Structure 1
């Protein structure tokens, strides 16, 4: 990542979990943490307390990573509701995406507000990630989440590829919610793979392995310039994280990381 020209990264699954080990390794390379991931489970039974405990643990982790730093860049808390989610399961992705009941929506909104209060008390932004295979994947669900959550406590993470693959227009979201988008996962989709996943009733994992995602500029999304313009018009100053989520045996990670960074240089001028 450092060789490709990036200044930060999410928390990888294979990273050291001890901040005393991880922080020096990142600082040696000029990298900072952009976010930890928290899967929330507010919509299923007996998981609210576990979820909020995990939120506290991740906020503690961020303080250990950044507590005495003078760097103005701070990591965000990224969350997504995985209650009844099918993306971790070996089942057809699109037909099995859950639709939340009224009670589940109530539990989700209440839980997110509690998590958002915790983040706010620690001077962090909670950013919600609408994710393939979850109950907040479709356009109407994303709008409902934004309508029913307090903008002081719940921000949006715009993931251009997850939204596009779900049939949601990421440019329309960027324009409508520009002032609530505080974190961006910038990645592309291969539309022909999305079509194959639907036609062959494949799982999320199978879609990843087939190459549903790639770095921005290498796939089917053509509105990245307009998306970035919409965010700039709202004075966006958060993390823009390039992602690919590809099989490394098929797509060399350094090669694609450099491709994504070069594409952004051409768009942004830096």
Structure 2
């Protein structure tokens, strides 16, 4: 697999805040995604969850299903229980021909709670990483045996947020545990994503690209705003509309021989940031940067 560009439908209809694009028909979302020129789309809340319905629907728009977010609970249950819980999601991905399983620990996450400030992220004690990592590795080994890449999504408001969290996570997990490298969450979480690519090349399993407006984020954080408040305020945007140097990102991905999906996942208020033209800007930015890096 070479580089393919995809998108998350979250810019059109936000699953965490249904008031953002909740009335936008799925057919309209998929038509926009096709017309902009993406090859694939990640799962969204409006998508049917049976392959017999979803596959012909996406085929009619010329789109592949890339995969989609899975909310895990390995801090509160063991790996066999998690493996049992993830079966419906896994079976859908397999039936759809997806090759990546995006996992995020959400048992104590606060990113969906507007009553918790950006500074209220839960932290793992140093002694808790080993058990968490062992459970994660067991689940990832299972996913790998099923023929999919396991791609853990670090995320603001979760226990894997900061640079030191990502480093601890990688040290305590095995080779089967890949990462969904998310440039926006990395930049705002204090993760040096260029160093991460260079130092852990074998773990970069999937890539999410969003850009950031750091001044908006800093104001939200100083005001005690929540993650969702930050989204509404516009701390995220598409590549090419913020402060991230995507030429540098693409050069590092080229240097490690990255092959796979590069997905725009940039949640904003669609009333303020019309999804189709913003997605087109993001895709153009990524394609041009990839071409300059020799990645495309």
TM-score w.r.t. structure 1 length?
0.91
1:108-155 Cα shifts (integer Å, max 9, x gaps): 21221121122111111101111100111011110011111111x101
Inter-partner Cα distance in structure 1 for 2:78 and 2:268: 31
1:40 aligns with 2:75: no
In structure 2, how many angstroms separate the alpha carbons of the residues matched to 1:50 and 1:258? 41
Q: Would the alpha carbon gap of residues 48 and 149 (structure 1) be closer, same or farther in structure 2, given more than 3 Å must change? A: closer
Alignment counterpart, residue 133 of structure 2, candidates 109, 116, 121: 109
Q: Which residue pairs with 2:84 in the alignment?
A: 53
Q: What is aligned with 1:155? A: 178
What's the counterpart of residue 231 of structure 2? 208
Contact 1:113 1:154 in 2 (8 A): yes
Q: Is the Cα contact below 8 Å between 1:42 and 1:108 reproduced in 2?
A: yes
1:11 to 36, 43, 55: 43
Question: Is 1:258 aligned to 2:258, yes or no?
Answer: no
How much has 1:50 moved relative to structure 2? 4.9
Name stretches of at least 5 consecutive residues in structure 1 with no aligned partner.
Answer: 67-73
* Further displaced range: 11-20 or 169-178: 169-178
Structure 1 residue 75 displacement after superposition: 2.6
C-alpha contact (below 8 Å) 2:78/2:135 kept by paired residues: no
**2:53 matched to which residue of 1?**
21
Count of equivalent residues? 260
How many Å apart are 1:36 and its aligned residue? 2.1
Contact 1:41/1:48 (8 A) holds in 2: no
| Root mean square deviation of aligned Cα | 1.6
Give 3-state SS (helix, strand or coil) of 1:118's partner: helix
Structure 2 stretches lacking a partner, 5+ long: 1-32
Q: 1:249 aligns with which of 271, 281, 294?
A: 271
In 1, Cα distance between equivalents of 2:250 and 2:287: 12
